[in-house]
Chain A
Amino acid sequence: MSGGAGFRLFALAVFTALVAGVGACSDRLDSRGSCPLLCPQEGVPLRDTLIDVVSDTTVLGFPPFGYENYMLLTSRGDTLETRVIVRYDTLFTTYHTSAGDSEVTTLDSAFLRLGLLIDTLRRNPAPVTIEAYDVDTLEGFDTSATVLASLFRKDRFLASRSFAPESLLDSVFIRLPTDSVLGHMLAHTRMRIGLKVVSTKSASVLIESHDAGTGPRLISYASKDTTVPPVANNVFSLTPATPLFLANALGDYVVTVKGGSPPASSLISVGGLPGRRAIINLNIPSYIVDSSSIVRATLLLHQKPNRTIDPKDTVPLSPGAFLINSVVTDPETILGFLSPPGAFGLLEHGLVPSDSGVQGIEIGPLVRTWGLSKPDVNRRSVALRSSEEAEKPGQLDFFSTRAAPALRPKLRITYVPRTNFGVP
């Protein structure tokens, strides 16, 4: 190869590499240092609009009967009184030993084990006593608060145990009379136990339900031999027979025997006991929902102080999306199909029942999804509930669409309208 040809090849290779290298370069464009002198109009305008809430509805009774994760057993004098009912509609009657299975004929001891959720910052102010009663009664009346309350009487008393406030930890055991438990085992009859808390002052205990874990367990020792495991029964309900799915829920549940009230017609209520949820119906113009970028959507609620129960305890208010289309209209039903707290990026807001004034609930992440589907699929409504529903008795009240105009709920929405951006 001559020197000239070699140079030509070299030059061509250099040029090719230069073209390839330069062609592969990517843009690096950010030139913020010259702003705002050379870019005084960057950005797009945000528009802020107030929209009245169309309507609202508050429904009482959430979570549905028997679906509490933690059951509030409380005694607040005249303001609130609840009972916890646990059902053992079938009882195991055999126990296991190294020699094999044996039928229970005697019992050494029997206990009711309750898992607790303890708030160490809010202990009971005085010792509490948990009393257990036999609350078995006729089917059809076995969920009636009035009937059940009447069964907490002396002749049905089973057992009790007192606890110092600091001794209430993650679980407690209440010794039950062995003859009563053994009698149900031998007779193959159901055992239904009602729990009541008694104290010289207001008292509350949160008991884990079988929806959150194992629930209250009936533990019986058929032998004094400590190597023999106990007979352990979990809550189990056979009634109601129809609908059958309710039977499982009613393995354990709470009844309110005193306190609680229907929502006032001029209020939106959240929390409380029995728990309340609210539906807020909105009608946002399609040019905002469909054609704009929503930066912020804040539900503005005028709070009315509620000083009935735990007025200064923070209640976590959680906005939620409906997971059910508009074919279903029954408020109680649709409030049963909500996104879990925190889903859709909807954050909780800790509010105090005794507060007043305007509270802003951010629902922007939910409102943005409304542009993705039609209202009959994704209803233009937001649900309000407490994420600690039925666990805290505090109730948040807000003025509704039936209140005076200045107090009615509104939606403040900040959005980016379609603009002529990009055209110099």
Chain B
Amino acid sequence: MRRTVFVFSLFAGAAGAQGNLSTQGYGFPTGQFSARAAGTGGAVAEIDPWSPLNPSTIGVFSSKVLFFQIEPEYRTVQNGAAKDRTTTSRYPVLFGAAPVGSRWVVSIGASTLLDRTASTVVQSTKLVGTDSVQATTTFTVDGAMNDVRLATAFTPASWIRLGVGAHAITGRSFVSVGDVYGDTTAFSNFTVRRTLSYGGAAASAGVQLISRNFVAAASARTGGTLTVSESDTLLSSGRVPTRFGLSVAYTGIANSAIAFRTSREGWSSLNKLGPGVSASDAWDTSVGADVAGLKLIGQDVAVRAGARTRTLPFAAAGKTVTENSFSGGLGTMFAGGRLITDVGLTRASRDAGLAANERAWILSLGIGVRP
């Protein structure tokens, strides 16, 4: 005979939240911005060839390029008197591009769509049968949903660039949850782990229109099926979020751009990926400038600044999280233009109308190489 007699524990349930406003649900959308675009608050993202959003923008490359970006976030979450400072290391953009003939450019790269890296420790009293025990529960998730893009751009004329991209949504999240008990004579500490794998496909297309004083660019991504699985077991499936973005930039100042961008991402298509997922479609709007002309001891330096407002896809405690940020950055080249370096710094403020709020410094370091 076997019978279940009692099941209860405080805070029991499926582990899902991560203790931050920004990393609820399947995680934080980094925006897929390059360090250059991040410095302008994302305003130039649709016309920036280093940001893997608009496939038409890679048409600007006249030689092979490699690009790599590091983007740590230093976050402070304040909940009443409690304050947590966390650090998350990210490598959100990596790609290479090469021209094929005089009108075509191809590119392959990967960027972070949703970064899900967080850890929380909760102390509670668990009731097991008639006994209670002090427990310290540690929940850790580490990983990301990535966007691997194979793109090509065609430049039929000097005033227009066209591009298409094929996307594979990949990545894994390593999740673990464990209890450490106060009474180890009767209770044994445990840690259970699982690896969630993501798989999906999408396609994107973009266009860039160039005039003497203005550049307009737009891109869209449409999603196919997106799955979450563990080993060979399918856990859930939804759709890759569709996305539409538009940037308009004034380029009347040489090598400079004053830009406006807005985009909308259909995050709600992720709602079928889990019973607790509460994602909403989100607008992301920014203005910024990338101004050249500053010279420091003979070195050309681009100066950037921008402001951005957006809503994050996943609700915190049922409330939509809004993020407002201000950015700045510098960019320069070395070795005769073969080494491109960009630094961006973003101060983000996230709020959901809850007792907890979140502030973050995001440092973006981009390195482009023309071999």
Contacts and interface: CB of A to CB of B under 8 A. Distances in A.
Interface of A: 2-4, 7-8, 11-12, 15, 18-19, 22-23, 25-52, 285, 293-296, 298, 347, 362, 364-365, 368, 412, 414, 416, 419-424
B49 to A, nearest CB: 20
Contact of A421 (B82, B175, B188): B175
Contacts of A41: 11, 13-17, 276
Interface of B: 1-9, 11-21, 24-26, 70, 72, 75, 77-79, 82-89, 117-122, 124, 126, 128-129, 135, 137, 139-142, 173, 175, 177, 179, 181, 185-188, 190-192, 194, 196, 228, 235-236, 273-277, 296-299, 314, 316-317, 332, 334, 339, 341, 343, 354-356, 363, 365, 367
Contacts of B173: 422
A31 B192 contact: no
A156 to B, nearest CB: 52
A416 B194 CA distance: 13
Contacts of A29: 86-88, 117-119, 140
A347 B7 contact: no
A7 B334 CA distance: 11
A19 B365 contact: yes
Contacts of A3: 297-298
Contacts of B354: 37-38
* Interface majority SS (helix, strand, loop, mixed), chain A: mixed
A22 B6 contact: no
A271 to B, nearest CB: 22
A44 B12 contact: yes
A8 B177 CA distance: 49
A413 B355 CA distance: 40
A38 B316 contact: yes
B346 to A, nearest CB: 14
* Interface majority SS (helix, strand, loop, mixed), chain B: strand
B310 to A, nearest CB: 19
Identify the 5 closest CB pairs spanning chains A and B, nearest first. A33-B82, A422-B175, A4-B298, A29-B119, A31-B19
Contacts of A7: 296-299
A422 B3 contact: no
Nearest to A4: B298
B118 A416 contact: no
Contacts of B341: 12, 15
16 contacts: A12-B341, A29-B118, A31-B86, A38-B17, A38-B18, A38-B356, A42-B11, A44-B192, A46-B12, A48-B6, A49-B2, A296-B186, A296-B188, A414-B187, A421-B16, A422-B196
Contact of B13 (A34, A43, A414): A43
A23 B12 CA distance: 37
A35 B72 contact: no
Contact of B122 (A42, A285, A296): A42
B24 A27 contact: no
Contacts, number: 259
Nearest to B228: A423
A423 B236 contact: yes
A33 B298 contact: no
Given A37-B355, A47-B7, 20 more contacts: A7-B299, A18-B343, A30-B86, A32-B82, A32-B120, A34-B356, A38-B316, A38-B354, A41-B17, A42-B15, A44-B177, A46-B9, A48-B7, A49-B4, A50-B4, A52-B2, A285-B2, A368-B188, A423-B14, A424-B276
Contact of A26 (B14, B89, B190): B89
B122 A43 contact: yes
Nearest to B236: A423
Contacts of A347: 185
A25 B129 contact: no
Contacts of B24: 38, 424
B119 to A, nearest CB: 4
A22 B365 contact: yes
A244 B87 CA distance: 70
Nearest to A33: B82
A46 to B, nearest CB: 5
Given A39-B17, A48-B4, A368-B188, A31 B119 contact: yes
A268 B25 CA distance: 53
A44 B190 CA distance: 11
Contacts of A294: 188, 190
A12 B334 contact: yes
B190 to A, nearest CB: 4
A29 B23 CA distance: 11
A296 B299 contact: no
A2 B298 CA distance: 10
Given A28-B86, A421-B177, A46 B15 contact: no
A421 B314 contact: no
Contacts of B192: 44, 293, 416, 421
A420 B233 CA distance: 12
B317 to A, nearest CB: 6
A18 B345 CA distance: 13
Nearest to B131: A296
A32 B122 contact: yes
A46 B307 CA distance: 47
B14 A419 contact: yes
A144 B339 CA distance: 96
A37 B357 CA distance: 11
Contacts of B339: 12
